[in-house]
Amino acid sequence: MTYCVGILVQDGLVMVADTRTNAGVDNIATFRKLHNFEAPDRFISLATSGNLSITQTVLSMVRDGLEDPSTGRIDTIFNQETLFKVAQLVGRAVREVWRVDGAGLEEQGGRFDIQMMLGGQISGGPMRLFQIYSAGNFIEVAQETIFFQIGEHKYGKPILDRAMNFNTDAYDALKIALISMDSTMRSNLSVGMPLDMVFLRRGSVIPEINSRIDPGEPYFHDLRERWSAALRAAHMAIPRPPYGPR
Amino acid sequence: MTYCVGILVQDGLVMVADTRTNAGVDNIATFRKLHNFEAPDRFISLATSGNLSITQTVLSMVRDGLEDPSTGRIDTIFNQETLFKVAQLVGRAVREVWRVDGAGLEEQGGRFDIQMMLGGQISGGPMRLFQIYSAGNFIEVAQETIFFQIGEHKYGKPILDRAMNFNTDAYDALKIALISMDSTMRSNLSVGMPLDMVFLRRGSVIPEINSRIDPGEPYFHDLRERWSAALRAAHMAIPRPPYGPR
C-alpha cells in the first residue's frame, strides 16, 4: 500500500509520500514513491501508488523518452513546454505500459491498477497539480479542492477536509499533511516510514524543502505525540452524552 | 453505504448506527440498521450493512424462525439459550439466504455482500459482541480489541484506535463512537443522519439508552461543533515544521 498527499495552496506545492511497499504482508520493502525531476527551468514531482512494476516502467519512460509518432521527436519530462503536456506524457506512458504489459498482467490475475500525482513548476508557467489514473486520464486541483490523495486515502482525509483551504500557510499545510500521514500509518501497517516531502514555493523551480523524515526524526516524533495528546484532550473536553433511560 | 460501530467495555455494550441507504446516488432512503430484539430474558441488537434485501431477509428469518433439521425445533432469536447460539442462528440464516438468492443475485451482477454486528445480553449469561460475515462465520471482541465496525469503517477508525480501552467509561465510549460517526458522515455522503444508538449496561437486559439522534439534536450538534473547534486548535497548537532549504 501507499499513502501520498499533494496540496496546492497560494504559497505553493506541498507533497508528502510514504515509502513502504508490500507484496503480501511477508514481503515488505522500502521504495521511494516521490520522484523529483530537477532541471534549471523546472521542478516536477511525481508521486506513485499501485503496482510497482507499472509505476517504475512509467518513470523510466518519461525520463528516457517516448517517441511522438506525429513528429518523431523524443518526448521526455524535461523537454515538454508545459506541465499540462507533462501530464499528457505521463498518461501516454501509462497507456504504453498497459499496451505492453496489461494483458499479461491480467492473465496472471494481476490488476493494472495505479494512481499518480504530478505537481510542479516550469519557469514562466503556472504551478499545477494533477492526479493521473490507470487509463492515463487526469484531473487537476482547483481553488475549492486543493488536495489530492493516492493510495490509502481514507484514514487521513478527515483532517485534510477540515483544516485547510487555498489560503492556508504552506508550512501549516505541510504540518496537516504530516498529521494526515500519522493517522494513516497508525491505522494501516502497509503505510510506513521514512517519509519523503517537498515544498516548492509558487514561482520557484528550486524546492524550499526536499528531504526525508526518518524514524525518530525529532519534529515528526514530537508532532505525533502532540497530536495524540491533543486528540485525547479534545474528546475529554466534550461533555458526556446526556442520553439516558427512556 | 452504512457505518455502524459496536463497543464492548467493562460497563457494557454501546452500539451506534446510521440510517442512510443508497442504490446509487440518485436513490437515497432511510432504513433502520440497528435492530433490537427485546424480551423479558434478553436484549439483543443486530446491526446490518450491505445488500438490504439480504439483511432484511436474515432479520425476518431470525425473528420468525428457522427449523433445526436435526430436532425439528423452530429456532428464533428469542429461544436460543446463549448469545453464541444466536450468532450461529444468524450465520445459518445468512447461509440460507445465500442458498436461495445467492446465484440469482450474482447472475444479475449483484454481490452477496453483507456484514453484521450482534451484541447483547441474555439473563444469566455473559454479555457478548460478534461480527458476522457473508459466509455466516463470525468473530468476537476481546479485551485487547473492544470494538467492531461495519460498512464505511476507515474515516472513523483513528479516533476509536486512540481513545478507548476496555476500562473506558461507557458514556465516554458512546461519545467517542459519535465522534467517529461524525468523521465518517463528513467524508462519506452515503452515511447519514438520523443515528440510532443503544447502551446496555453489563448484566442488564433493559437498555439504559435506546434512542435516535435526529438532525439538529442539541447534544450531537454541539459535539460536532466542539470537535471541529478542538481539531483546529489542536493542529494550530503544534509548531510549524522546522524543515527548510537544503
Q: What is the 3-state secondary structure (H, E, C) of A1-47?
A: CCEEEEEEECCEEEEEECCEEECCCCCEEECCCEEEEEECCEEEEEE
Q: Verify cis geometry, omega within 30 degrees of 0, for the bond prior to B194.
A: yes
Q: What is the DSSP letter of B63?
A: H
Q: Compute the half-sphere exposure of residue B92: CA atoms within 13 Å on the CB side of its CA.
A: 17
Report the run of H or E that residue A221 belongs to, with start and end: helix A218-237
User: Does residue B183 register a pLDDT over 60?
Assistant: yes
Digit-coded pLDDT (tens) for A184-196: 999 999 999 999 9
Digit-coded pLDDT (tens) for A112-151: 999 999 999 999 999 999 999 999 999 999 999 999 999 9
pLDDT at position A1 is 85
Digit-coded pLDDT (tens) for B67-102: 998 999 999 999 999 999 999 999 999 999 999 999
User: Does residue A244 register a pLDDT over 90?
Assistant: no
User: Does residue B245 register a pLDDT over 80?
Assistant: no
pLDDT higher at A245 or B207? B207
Report the run of H or E that residue A48 belongs to, with start and end: strand A42-50
CB-CB: which of B171, B178, B238 is closest to A175? B238
Mean pLDDT to the nearest integer, A65-77: 94
Helices then strands, counting H and E runs in chain B, come out as 6, 14
Strands B147-151 and B3-9: what pairing?
A: antiparallel
A155 to B154: CB separation less than 8 angstroms, yes or no: yes
pLDDT at position B96 is 96
Nearest CA in chain A to B185: A158
pLDDT at position A9 is 98
The C-alpha of A197 sits at a distance from chain B's nearest C-alpha, in angstroms, of 10
Question: For all residues of chain B together, what is the average pLDDT?
Answer: 95
Provide the 3-class DSSP secondary structure of residue A118.
strand
The C-alpha of A24 sits at a distance from chain B's nearest C-alpha, in angstroms, of 20
- Whether A186 has its CB under 8 Å from any CB of chain B: the answer is yes
- If 0-12 CB within 10 Å is exposed, 13-18 middle and 19+ buried, where does residue B27 land? exposed
Are the C-beta atoms of B101 and B53 separated by less than 8 Å? yes
When pLDDT is cut at 50, 70 and 90, the band that residue A25 belongs to is confident
- Whether A177 has its CB under 8 Å from any CB of chain B: the answer is no
CA proximity to A3, closest of A195, A207, A200: A195
pLDDT at position A20 is 94
Angle at A128 between CA A124 and CA A130, to 5 degrees: 145
pLDDT at position A245 is 72
Range list of H helices, B82-238:
83-97, 103-107, 157-163, 170-187, 218-237
The C-alpha of A66 sits at a distance from chain B's nearest C-alpha, in angstroms, of 32
Are the C-beta atoms of B14 and B203 separated by less than 8 Å? no
When pLDDT is cut at 50, 70 and 90, the band that residue B41 belongs to is very high
Three cell numbers written together for B104 = 440469482
Provide the 3-class DSSP secondary structure of residue A220.
helix
CB-CB: which of B179, B186, B232 is closest to A235? B179
Digit-coded pLDDT (tens) for A151-172: 999 999 999 998 899 999 999 9
Query: Among residues 145-164 of chain B, which lie with CB inside 8 Å of chain A?
Result: 154-155, 157-159, 161-163
Mean pLDDT to the nearest integer, A197-212: 97
Mean pLDDT to the nearest integer, B53-71: 95
Digit-coded pLDDT (tens) for B89-135: 999 999 999 999 999 999 999 999 999 999 999 999 999 999 999 99
Q: What is the DSSP letter of A58?
A: H
Residues 6+ apart with CB under 8 A from B207: B36, B43, B198, B199, B200
ipTM: 0.88
The C-alpha of A208 sits at a distance from chain B's nearest C-alpha, in angstroms, of 5
Query: Among residues 188-227 of chain A, which lie with CB inside 8 Å of chain B?
Result: 197, 199, 208-211, 219, 222-223, 226-227
The number of angstroms, rounded, from the C-alpha of B180 to the middle of its chain's C-alpha atoms is 12
The C-alpha of B208 sits at a distance from chain A's nearest C-alpha, in angstroms, of 5
Percent of chain B with pLDDT over 70: 100
A234 to B231: CB separation less than 8 angstroms, yes or no: yes
pLDDT at position B246 is 52
User: Does residue A246 register a pLDDT over 60?
Assistant: no
- Whether B183 has its CB under 8 Å from any CB of chain A: the answer is yes
- Whether A25 has its CB under 8 Å from any CB of chain B: the answer is no
